Structure 1
Amino acid sequence: MSTDGVEIPAKRGLLTIAGAVLALAGIIAGYGFISRAQSKQEVVDWTSQQTTATVSLASFIPTPPNQILTLPGNVQPFNKAAIYARVNGYLKSWEHDIGTPVHAGQALANIDAPDLDQQLSQAKATLASVRANLQIANLTASRNNVLLQKQIVAQQLADQTDADAKAKEAVVDANEANVKQLEAMQSFKTLAAPFDGIVTARNVEIGMLISSGGAGQPLFEVSDLHKVRIYVQVPQSFSAGLKQGMAATFEMPQYPGVQFDATLSHISKSINSTSHSMQVELQANNADGKFFGGAYCNVHFQIPSDPNHLRLPSTALVVNDKGAQVAILDANNKVVLKSVQLGRDFGDSVEILAGLTASDRVVNNPPETLANGDLVQIAAAPASS
C-alpha cells in the first residue's frame, strides 16, 4: 500500500480546521465590537437620563360651588347702655347687682342730692316772691287804668304800671321754668333701666360721691341680650361675595363642636384704609342666653366660587423677583415659566385668577434650578392599589 494516498487527506483536514478556527475568531471579534458599541450607547443614554430632571405634574383642584371663609367675630349685645348720673350727690342705695334681669324704667339706684334739694327750695321761694310782686303790679296797673279813665292820672303813669306788670309776669314765667327744670332734675336722683335687659356692670357703692356727666366709668351697664350682634372684619378680597341676608354659622370655644346660626344683617360698604377690611354685622337669636357681650367666636361664611378661577397646590408656585410664577411644560416637555395672578390663599392651595388654563401641564415642586427651555421627563404615575 502506498503512503502518498494517506498524507493528502490529512492536509485537507488541517486546512478545514484552520478555516473554522479563523471563522470562529472572526465571529467572536465581531460580537465583541457590537457589544462594546451597544454598551457605549447605553452609557450615553443613561448619562442623558441622569442629566434630564424628572418632574411630577400638579393636578388642578376642583373648585366647589361655595368656599367656606372662617373669620374671627366679636359678639356684642343687641342694645347696651352705660348709665351715668345727671346730678351730683352721694349714692343712697342700689337695687340690682350684676346678672339681674331688669325691666324698662325699673330703679337701679338712688342718689341723695342735698345741693339740688336746696336749689329747688330756693327756686320755689323765689317763685313765690315774684308772684306776689306780679300780683301787686297787676293791682297797681288796674287802679291806674281806672283813674286814667277819670283823668285823675296821666297816661304816662298808666303805661308805666302796665309795663311793670308785664315785666313782672315775665319774671314769674322765668322762675316757673327754673322750678320745673329743678323738679325734672329731681327725677334723675333715681337711676333707671332704659330698656328690658340684664345688669352687666355695677361700679357704685353706698355713700360714694357721685358726679354728673359722662366722664369716667359708668355707674351701671344694662345689656339687652335677647339677640346679639356679631361684628366681623372681612378682607377686601372676599368682600364682593357678601350679600345682605346671607346665612352663616359660628362657633364659640365654651361650646366645642356646636354650631349656631346667624344672618348677615348689615354691610358697612366701607374699606378700612389701614387693615383693608370691611366691617359687617350679623345677628343671632339668644333666647337661651348662651351668648354674652364681648365674647369671641369663629364665623363661617359660604362664599360663592367663581367657576373661571383655577386652584393649584401651593407647592406648584415659584416665587422669585418676578413675582408668582408656575412652571408648565410645552409639547416637547420643555419648561416655560409663566407669571400668574394669585387670588385667595387657602393654605394648602391657592386660587389662580389669570395666567393659566385648565389644559396647561403644571410642574409640582419645581426644582430651584429649573429654567426656561430646560428639557424634563415626567415621572411615572404611582400604581394605584
Structure 2
Amino acid sequence: MTNHAELQFKTHDEQPRLTRWLSHSLLLVLVFCISGTSSFGQSNDKVPRVTVVNPVQKTLVYRLPFKPAEMLAIQEAIVYARTSGYLDQITVDIGDNVEKGQVIAVLDTPELTDEVNVAHAQVLEARAHHAAAQAIADAGTSRVLAANAGLIQAKGQILQASAELRKANAVLEAQKIQTDRIRSLHRQEAATDAQLETAEKDHLLAIADVEVSNEALKAAETKSGAAEAMVTVAVAEKAAKASLVTVGETAITSATARLDHAKTMLGYAMIRAPFSGVITDRFLDPGAAVVTSTSSKTTAIVSIKDLSSIKIYVQIPEPDVPYISKGHPAEITCSAYPNRRFEGVVTRISRDLDRRTRTMKVEILLPNEDGQIYPGMFAIVNFDLIERVDAWTLPAQALLGSKGEYHVYCVVGGVCRAVPIKIGLDDGGTVEITEGLKGDEQVILIGKGLIQAGDRVEAVGSNP
C-alpha cells in the first residue's frame, strides 16, 4: 500500500490502515456500549438497526499539499562600474523607481577625458598627413598626365617623320628616273648640257631630302622612347605617392579607433540601469573609490530588481510530475496578505529530477502590476492537478476491504448485501466511487461491524 503523505487527496489504497482500523474499532465499541439501551433501538426479534447514507455527487479535486517557497524578482542585478574612478554623483537611493538606460551614477575619471583629447588630436594629425599625401599624389597624377601627353606628341612626330620619309623616297625615285631619261637624251644630243646639269642637281637634292627625313624619323623615335621612360617614371612616382595616401588612411582609421575606444571608456563613467525596476540597496556615497568590475576587487554601486513580475520556484514530487506542464495554474498565498489569493502560472520546467530528493524544479510566474508583492516574501503554493465533476462519493468510513479490493454493505429489502466497488480520488474523508454504485443505494455507515452479508437489518438515518 502506497503511503504518499504529500498528497492532500489520495486513493483509498494510500489511506493508512491504522486510521481505518481505529475508526472501525471505535464504532464497534460505541455499538457495544449502546446496544443494550433503548436509544440504539432493536426490534423485538433482535434485528440490528444500522445507519445508512446515500452516495452523493460532488466535485473532487486532486491537489498537491501546500508548497512553501520564497518569492523572487523576475530580474535582479548588482550594478558595478566598467571603469575605475571616484563616485562623483549618485542620483538614486533605495526604493526609487528607475527606467532602463537611466543614469543612476556618474564617475569622475579625468584620465579618460585626457585620453579622449589625445586621441582626438591624433585623429586631426593623421587627417593632416593624409591631406598632404593626397596633394602629393595628385601632383604625381598630373605628372603622369603630362608624360602621357609628351608620349602622344612624340608618337605624332614619328608618324609625321615617317610620312616625310616616304614622300622624300618617292621624290627621289621620280627624280632618279627623270635624271636617267635626261642622261639618255643628252647622249643622243636631244637634251642640252644645262638640262642634264639641272637634272643631276635635282637628283642630289632628292637624296639629301631622304637623308634628312631619315634623321628626323630617328630623332622622333628617340624622343618617343624618352617620353615612354618619363611615363614609366611618373607612374612609379604616382604609385609611391599613392602608398603614402594609403598609409595616411590607415593612420586615420587607427587614430579614429583609439578615439572611439576612449569615448566608450569615458561613457562607462555614466552608470546606467540595465533594466527598469526598483533600487533595493545602495552601497556607496559620493567620493568613494570605484574599482572596475574586471579587476580582482570589485565595488558594487547599487542593487536593482524588476518587480513587474515575481517568480517562485517549487519542487514537485516524482509521482506528480506527469500532471505539471507549462501554463498550469497555481494559487499563491503569503502571510502579508492572508485573505488574498494570487493566481500564477507555470512558465518553466527543469525536466530533470534531483537524484537526492526525486523532485523536479518548476518556475511559477506571478504578475505584480500593483507592486504589492515584494521579493523575499514567504509564499505558499497550491496546485489543483485533477478535478472530478459530479463524482459519486461516500464517506471513507463506509468502505470495507484493502489493497484495492473494496466493497460496501448496502441494505436491500431489509437485508445486508455486500457490493464490490472501485474507488478513485480520496481526500481522507470522502472517497470517489468509480464503479459499483448507481447513487440510490442505502450504504451502511454505522453498525456494519456487528453484521455480515445476508443478515436482516433495519436502516435508519438515510440522507436525502
**TM-score category of the 2 structures, normalised to the smaller one:** 0.5 to 0.7
TM-superposed deviation, 1:103: 2.8
Q: Deviations over 1:323-380 (max 9, x none)?
A: x979999xxxxxxxxxxxxx9998x79x9xxxxx989xxxxxxxxxxxxxxxxx9567
Change (3 A) 1:311 1:236: farther
User: Whose Rg is larger?
Assistant: 2
1:283 to 366, 381, 405: 366
Which residues of 2 match residues 204-215 of structure 1 at below 5 A?
A: 204-213=284-293
In the aligned structure 1, how far is the partner of 2:323 from the partner of 2:22? 41
Distance 1:205 1:111 in 2: 11
> Structure 2 residue aligned with 1:137, among 133, 144, 157?
133
Per mean C-alpha deviation after superposition, the further-off stretch among 212-221 and 167-176 is: 212-221
Question: Residue 247 of structure 1 contacts residue 301 of structure 1 at CA under 8 Å; is this kept in 2?
Answer: yes
Q: SS at the partner of 2:293?
A: coil
Q: Tell me which residue corresponds to 1:67.
A: 62
3-state DSSP of counterpart to 1:150: helix
Q: How does 1:98-109 map to 2 (within 5 A)?
A: 98-109=94-105
Structure 1 residue runs of 4 or more that deviate by more than 4 Å after TM superposition: 214-217, 305-308, 310-313, 324-329, 343-346, 377-380
CA contact (8 A) 1:83 1:219 kept: yes
* Partner residue, 1:255: 337
Shift in alpha-carbon separation, 1:94–1:76, aligned structure 2, 3 A? same
| Structure 2 gaps, min length 5 | 1-20, 28-56, 148-229, 408-423, 438-447, 452-459
Partner of 2:306: 224
Query: For 1:148-297, what aligned pairs fall within 5 Å after superposition?
Result: 148-151=144-147, 153-213=233-293, 216=298, 218-256=300-338, 258-268=339-349, 270-274=351-355, 275-287=358-370, 289-297=371-379
Deviation at 1:157, TM superposition (A): 2.0
Task: State the SS of the aligned residue for 1:143.
Answer: helix
Aligned pair partner of 2:91 in 88, 95, 111 = 95
Q: Size of the alignment, in residue pairs?
A: 295
1:198-257 per-position Cα deviation (integer Å, ceiling 9, x unaligned): 11121222222222236756422222223322222222222222244333321212233x
The aligned runs of 1:334-353 (5 Å cut-off) are none
If asked which structure has higher relative contact order (CA below 8 Å, sep 6+), I would say 2
SS in 1 for 2:374: coil
The answer as to whether partners of 2:78 and 2:304 remain within 8 angstroms in 1 is yes
Structure 2 CA distance for partners of 1:63 and 1:163, relative to 1, 3 Å: farther
Partner of 2:143: 147
User: What is the CA–CA distance in structure 1 between the aligned matches of 2:124 and 2:253, rounded to whole Å?
Assistant: 12
Instruction: Say whether the 8 Å CA contact 2:81–2:293 is kept in structure 1.
Output: yes
Larger helix fraction of residues: 2
The verdict on how the C-alpha distance between 1:244 and 1:63 changes in structure 2, with shifts beyond 3 A counting, is farther
After TM superposition, give the deviation of residue 163 of structure 1 in Å.
1.3
CA 1:237–1:311 in 2, change beyond 3 Å: closer, same or farther? farther
Quote the Cα distance in structure 2 between the aligned partners of 1:85 and 1:276: 40
TM-score (normalised: structure 2):
0.52
**2:385 maps to 1:303:** yes
Match of 1:38 in 2: none
Q: 1:205 to 1:225 in 2, by over 3 A?
A: same
Q: TM-score, normalised by structure 1?
A: 0.62
Provide structure 1 residue ranges, at least 5 long, that are not aligned to the other structure: 1-52, 317-323, 330-342, 352-356, 360-376
Deviation at 1:96, TM superposition (A): 0.8
Aligned to 1:370: none
CA contact (8 A) 2:331 2:341 kept: yes
Corresponding residue for 1:125?
121
- Return closer, same or farther for 1:245/1:82 CA change in 2, 3 Å cut-off: same
What CA distance in whole angstroms lies between the structure 1 residues aligned with 2:69 and 2:143? 84
Percent identity over the alignment?
20
1:250-301 Cα offsets, whole Å, 9 max, x none, are: 1212233x232223141325123334323232323341x2211232200111
Superposition CA RMSD, Å? 4.5
* Cα separation, 1, equivalents of 2:347 and 2:315: 12
Deviation per CA, 1:58-111: give whole Å up to 9, x if none: 9xxx99631232112231223334322121111112111111122333321111
**Contact 1:96 1:199 (8 Å CA) reproduced:** yes
Deviation (angstroms), 1:55: 10
| Secondary structure in structure 2 of the residue aligned to 1:156 | helix
CA distance in 2: counterparts of 1:172 and 1:358, whole angstroms: 92
